[in-house]
Amino acid sequence: MVAQEAPIKINCLTIPTYENVVSLYRNKESTQYFVQYEAPDGTPIDAAYWLSSPTFFKSEDFYVYAEKLQEHEKQLKQLNRHNENSSVTTLWGTSYEKCEYAVGVIFYRTPDHGGFYLSEQMNERVHYLYRNTSCWYEEDVEAFKIINSFPELFTDLEKANADIVLRNFFPFPYEKINNVSLSEGESFVKDREAFYYQHRNDWIGTFTSPIYGRSNVIRVEAALGGKKLKAHIKHFEVPLSEYLSRNRFGMIIDPKRHPEILEH
């Protein structure tokens, strides 16, 4: 644990102690917070950090996170990654840059998206439950399969993030590969499937619209079991406060309490 009275240096930047912060404000288009703080000699310094919230910056969790970033930067320097210009046809258009992690493991960047491409030989090293026969793995989710398959090419922070993503979005392969059983709250996809199975005979809200003249009530379009089939759609009145506190996977309609809005 890094002592809070000692600023942390990462890539020549210094993460200040919370006590030295003069102001903290957010870029409206992202989760980037701009921090102005005072150096030991009183000089004002501006810096930007990717934080989840100002509260996170104030908490000790931020310093734990900063310490992990510091170790991540050290490990990156030890990895043999090469960036160079590239013009290769990918699934997302023509690349402008590539990063070679190892022979046969290349990450391509395009103006719109990016991802890994593996040689056939390297693709065979990916567990069959994670393997894409196309050898392409897009950057948002699929790329974490590559981190899991070639741990020696990635930092501890990257591997920890991969475990989180694979557990949340590929729970069933994850359970088989790691010989574990994920409990409620450990996987987004598994929890979502359990929710829809549990409420397969309930009306689940899928869309909302205002009811003019009534600010505390909204119109909720609901589908039986959450499946948006035209024959299984109804509309209900739901208190706005109740809708705002709904389950993250959908609003469960109670026909006894939520009046149905009949179409004329």
The residues of the chain scoring below 70 in pLDDT are 1-66, 229-231, 264
Query: How many CB atoms sit inside 10 A of residue 186's CB?
Result: 15
Query: How many CB atoms sit inside 10 A of residue 124's CB?
Result: 10
pLDDT the model gives residue 77: 86
* Distance from C-alpha of 70 to C-alpha of 61, rounded to nearest angstrom: 14
Task: Decide: 236 and 253 in contact? Cβ < 8 Å.
Answer: yes
The distance from CA 232 to its chain's CA centroid, rounded to whole angstroms, is 32
* Distance from C-alpha of 233 to C-alpha of 192, rounded to nearest angstrom: 21
Query: What is the pTM assigned to this prediction?
Result: 0.73
pLDDT the model gives residue 260: 92
Residue 140 has which token pair? Answer: 């948002």
pLDDT the model gives residue 83: 87
Query: How many CB atoms sit inside 10 A of residue 8's CB?
Result: 18
**Domain extents for the chain?**
8-78, 82-178, 199-253
Task: Decide: 189 and 169 in contact? Cβ < 8 Å.
Answer: yes
pLDDT the model gives residue 150: 96
At residue 69, φ and ψ (nearest 5 deg) are -65, -40
Query: Quick one: CA torsion of 149, 152, 153, 155, rounded to 10 degrees?
Result: 110
pLDDT the model gives residue 22: 43
* Distance from C-alpha of 137 to C-alpha of 114, rounded to nearest angstrom: 9
The distance from CA 68 to its chain's CA centroid, rounded to whole angstroms, is 18
Task: Decide: 199 and 223 in contact? Cβ < 8 Å.
Answer: no
The Cβ-side half-sphere exposure at 159, using a 13 Å CA radius, reads: 13
pLDDT the model gives residue 229: 67
